[in-house]
C-alpha cells in the first residue's frame, strides 16, 4: 500500500484537525485488516474526549468566518473536490477494496454515488434560497432566509466508507457550517485518503475535519455543547442510542438504522430478469448493504419456476478477492461478522427452512485467510422465522410464497423495518397498490435495489430511521440550516 499522509510511518491512522494531520491521544484502538487476505494494513488509535473537544472548538472558530463567506466562494473548493475525486477514483476504489473487501466494480459505483452528492452541493446557491413576498401586509415585505448553524458531526458505518461520508459532508459545508466526520473504525483508510484530497481542494482550516475513533469518541461528540447536530448511519440499536442521546443533549439528529428488505415477485413479472436482480440485490457487496433485498416474497403460481432461476443465477456467481475483476462477491468485513452470518445459516436450518444452496463450504484459492461466504439460499421460509425477520448482512436469500400481491404487501408491512422494497411485475395496478400501501421509505418497481440519486432524499422508515429529515438532497439543506423571517417596512419619508 502506498504511504498516505493520513497514516503515520509507524502505521497509525491519523485524524485531520485544523488543517493538520494529528495522532489521536486515546489509549484504545484497533487494527485495520484486509478482509480478503487477513493482512494488517494499519492501526487506528481512537480519539478521546480531549481530541473531540479540540476538533469541535476548531470547527466552531472556523465557522465564524466560513459562515459569512459568500456562497459562491464556499462552493469553489467543492468543485475542486469533485475533480480531485474523479481524478483519483480508481486509486480510491482499490484502497476501498483493500480495506473493505467488496469488488472493484462495487467500489467504483459507490464512489460515483458519493461524487454525485458533491455535484448536488455545488448547486447550493439555488437550493439554499427561501421564499419572499412583496406586500405581505400593508407596506410590508417579508422574506424567509436560511442560515447555517455551527458544527455538525457525522458518524458513519463500515459498509460504504467512500460514499456515506459524502451523503453529509458536501451539504454541511456548502451551506456554511463546519463539519467533523467520525468514520467507521473498521475501514478508516478511504476516509483518510478522502481528507487528503479535501486538504488539496483548499477548504479553510477547521471547516472540514476528520476524527477517528470508536464508541467513546462518538459519545464524547454527543455530549459536547459545541456540536449543533449529528448525522448517523449504522445499526438500529446504535441509531436509537444516537437519536435519544443527541436529542437529550439538545442537538438536531438524523439516525439511519439497519434493515430487512423484501422483493415481491408477481405472476406477471419477467421472472428471469427478476431472478437476476434478486441475486444481485441480496448478494452484491457480500450482502452487506442496508438496501439488500434478502427476502423474496413470491406469488405461488410462479414460485417453483422462480426458485430454479434464482438458483441458476446464484450458482453463476464468482466469489473471490475484490481486486480480481471477475469477482462477483467479495469478502465479508471481519471473521467475527462471517461467523455471525454462519450462525444465521445454522439457525435457518434449525428453524426448518430448506437449504437450497449452501455457501459455507467455499474455498477461494490463494486467499485461505479471507472472510468468504458463497450465496446461500433458503426455500420454504415462513415469515415468523428469524432468518426472515432479522438483518443478516451476508449473502443469504430467503424465499417465501404468498397467494396474492395483497398478502405480500402485508408481509412487508409487518416488518419492524422499512428501509427498502422492490416489486417485480408486469401490472400497473399492482405497482400502484405497492406504491400506495407499502410502509417503506425506498420503493422500487422492476428495480433490484432502490438506491435514490443524490438529488433525492434517501428514504427509510420505521426502525430503519429515527428523525424526520433524511440524508441527501433537499432534506440536507433543511437539516443543516434554520430559517429566519425578515419583516420590513420602509415608509416614505
**Contact positions vs ligand NAD (CB under 6 A):** 155-160, 182, 184-185, 214-215, 218-219, 233-235, 238, 241, 256-259, 290, 391, 393, 419, 458, 460, 464
Closest residue to ligand NAD, judged by C-beta, is 234
Q: Which is nearer to ligand NAD, 257 or 379 (CB)?
A: 257
Q: Which is nearer to ligand NAD, 313 or 475 (CB)?
A: 475
- At closest approach, how far in Å is the CB of 217 from ligand NAD? 7
Using DSSP's 3-state secondary structure scheme, residue 360 falls into: coil
- At closest approach, how far in Å is the CB of 188 from ligand NAD? 9
- At closest approach, how far in Å is the CB of 29 from ligand NAD? 12
Check if 122 is active-site: no
- At closest approach, how far in Å is the CB of 458 from ligand NAD? 6
Q: Which is nearer to ligand NAD, 12 or 410 (CB)?
A: 12
Closest CA to 275 of 262, 263, 287: 263
Q: Which is nearer to ligand NAD, 148 or 473 (CB)?
A: 473
What phi, psi does 324 have (nearest 5°)?
A: -80, 125
Using DSSP's 3-state secondary structure scheme, residue 142 falls into: strand
Q: Which is nearer to ligand NAD, 110 or 228 (CB)?
A: 110
Strand ranges, E, within 234-370: 252-256, 261-265, 293-299, 354-357
Tally of CB atoms within 10 A around 161? 28
Cα dist. 129→71, 353, 454 in Å? 11, 54, 19
- At closest approach, how far in Å is the CB of 233 from ligand NAD? 5
Q: Provide DSSP, 262-287.
A: EEEE-TTS-HHHHHHHHHHHHHGGGG
Q: Which residues touch 80 (CB under 8 Å, ≥6 apart)?
A: 200, 201, 202
Cα–Cα dist 146/486, whole Å:
11
Q: Which is nearer to ligand NAD, 79 or 455 (CB)?
A: 455
C-alpha grid cell, residue 130: 427561501
Check: CB of residue 331 under 8 Å from CB of residue 288.
no
Q: Provide DSSP, 403-433.
A: SSHHHHHHHHHHSSEESEEEEE-S-HHHHHH
- At closest approach, how far in Å is the CB of 65 from ligand NAD? 29
Cα–Cα dist 193/43, whole Å:
15
Q: Which is nearer to ligand NAD, 56 or 201 (CB)?
A: 56
Check: CB of residue 227 under 8 Å from CB of residue 153.
yes
Cα–Cα dist 263/445, whole Å:
10
Which one-letter DSSP state was computed for residue 354?
A: E
C-alpha grid cell, residue 341: 452470518
Check: CB of residue 282 under 8 Å from CB of residue 395.
yes
C-alpha grid cell, residue 372: 468468504
Q: Which is nearer to ligand NAD, 155 or 296 (CB)?
A: 155
- At closest approach, how far in Å is the CB of 176 from ligand NAD? 25
C-alpha grid cell, residue 329: 462477491
- At closest approach, how far in Å is the CB of 21 from ligand NAD? 20
Q: Which is nearer to ligand NAD, 79 or 461 (CB)?
A: 461
Closest CA to 125 of 79, 190, 82: 79
Cα–Cα dist 355/358, whole Å:
6
- Please list the residues that pair with 466 across neighbouring strands: 255
Check: CB of residue 296 under 8 Å from CB of residue 398.
yes
Q: Which is nearer to ligand NAD, 212 or 376 (CB)?
A: 212
The arrangement of strands across the sheet holding 420-424 comes to: 354-357, 376-379, 396-402, 293-299, 261-265, 420-424, 442-445
Active-site residue among 122, 283, 285, 290? 290
Which one-letter DSSP state was computed for residue 337?
A: H
3-state helix, strand, coil in the chain (%, to 5): 40, 25, 35
Any idea which residues carry the catalytic annotation? 290
Amino acid at each position: 500500500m502506498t504511504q498516505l499522509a493520513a497514516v503515520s510511518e509507524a502505521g497509525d491512522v491519523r485524524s485531520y484537525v485544523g488543517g493538520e494531520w494529528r495522532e489521536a491521544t486515546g489509549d484504545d484502538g484497533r487494527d485495520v485488516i484486509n478482509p480478503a487476505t487477513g493482512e494488517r494494513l494499519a492501526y487506528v488509535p481512537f480519539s478521546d474526549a480531549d481530541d473531540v473537544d479540540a476538533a469541535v472548538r476548531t470547527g466552531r472558530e472556523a465557522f465564524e468566518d466560513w459562515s459569512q463567506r459568500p456562497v459562491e466562494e464556499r462552493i469553489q473548493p467543492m468543485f475542486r473536490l469533485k475533480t480531485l475525486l474523479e481524478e483519483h477514483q480508481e486509486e480510491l476504489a482499490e484502497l476501498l477494496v483493500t480495506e473493505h473487501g467488496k469488488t472493484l466494480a462495487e467500489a467504483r459505483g459507490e464512489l460515483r454515488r458519493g461524487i454525485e452528492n458533491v455535484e448536488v452541493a455545488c448547486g447550493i446557491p439555488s437550493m439554499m434560497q427561501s421564499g419572499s413576498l412583496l406586500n405581505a401586509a400593508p407596506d410590508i415585505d417579508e422574506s424567509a432566509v436560511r442560515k447555517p448553524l455551527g458544527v455538525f458531526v457525522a458518524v458513519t458505518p463500515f459498509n460504504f466508507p467512500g460514499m456515506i461520508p459524502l451523503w453529509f459532508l458536501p451539504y454541511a459545508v456548502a451551506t456554511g457550517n463546519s463539519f467533523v466526520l467520525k468514520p467507521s473504525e473498521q475501514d478508516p483508510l478511504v476516509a483518510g485518503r478522502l481528507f487528503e484530497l479535501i486538504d488539496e481542494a483548499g477548504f479553510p482550516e477547521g471547516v472540514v475535519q476528520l476524527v477517528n475513533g470508536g464508541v467513546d469518541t462518538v459519545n464524547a461528540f454527543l455530549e459536547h455543547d459545541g456540536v449543533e447536530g449529528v448525522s448517523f448511519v449504522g445499526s438500529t440499536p446504535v441509531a436509537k442510542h444516537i437519536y435519544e442521546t443527541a436529542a437529550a443533549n439538545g442537538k438536531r439528529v438524523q439516525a439511519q438504522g439497519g434493515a430487512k428488505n423484501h422483493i415481491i415477485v408477481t405472476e406477471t413479472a419477467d421472472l428471469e430478469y427478476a431472478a437476476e436482480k434478486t441475486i444481485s440485490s441480496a448478494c452484491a457487496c457480500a450482502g452487506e448493504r442496508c438496501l439488500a433485498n434478502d427476502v423474496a416474497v413470491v406469488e405461488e403460481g410462479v414460485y417453483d419456476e422462480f426458485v430454479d432461476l434464482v438458483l441458476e443465477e446464484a450458482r453463476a456467481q464468482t466469489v473471490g478477492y475484490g481486486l480480481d475483476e471477475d469477482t462477483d462477491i467479495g469478502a465479508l468485513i471481519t471473521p467475527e461478522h462471517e461467523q455471525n452470518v454462519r450462525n444465521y445459516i445454522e439457525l435457518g436450518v434449525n428453524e426448518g427452512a430448506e437449504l437450497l444452496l449452501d455457501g459455507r463450504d467455499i474455498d477461494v484459492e490463494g486467499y485461505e485467510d479471507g472472510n468468504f461466504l458463497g450465496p446461500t439460499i433458503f426455500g420454504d421460509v415462513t415469515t415468523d422465522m428469524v432468518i426472515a425477520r432479522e438483518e443478516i448482512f451476508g449473502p443469504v436469500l430467503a424465499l417465501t410464497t404468498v397467494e396474492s400481491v395483497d398478502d405480500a404487501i402485508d408481509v412487508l408491512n409487518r416488518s419492524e423495518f422499512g428501509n427498502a422494497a422492490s416489486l417485480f411485475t408486469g401490472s400497473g395496478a399492482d405497482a400502484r397498490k405497492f406504491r400506495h400501501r407499502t410502509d417503506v421509505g425506498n420503493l422500487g418497481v422492476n428495480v433490484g435495489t432502490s438506491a435514490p440519486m443524490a438529488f433525492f432524499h434517501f428514504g427509510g422508515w420505521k426502525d430503519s430511521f429515527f428523525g424526520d429529515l433524511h440524508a441527501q438532497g433537499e432534506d440536507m439543506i433543511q437539516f443543516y440550516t434554520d430559517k429566519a423571517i425578515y419583516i420590513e417596512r420602509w415608509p416614505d419619508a
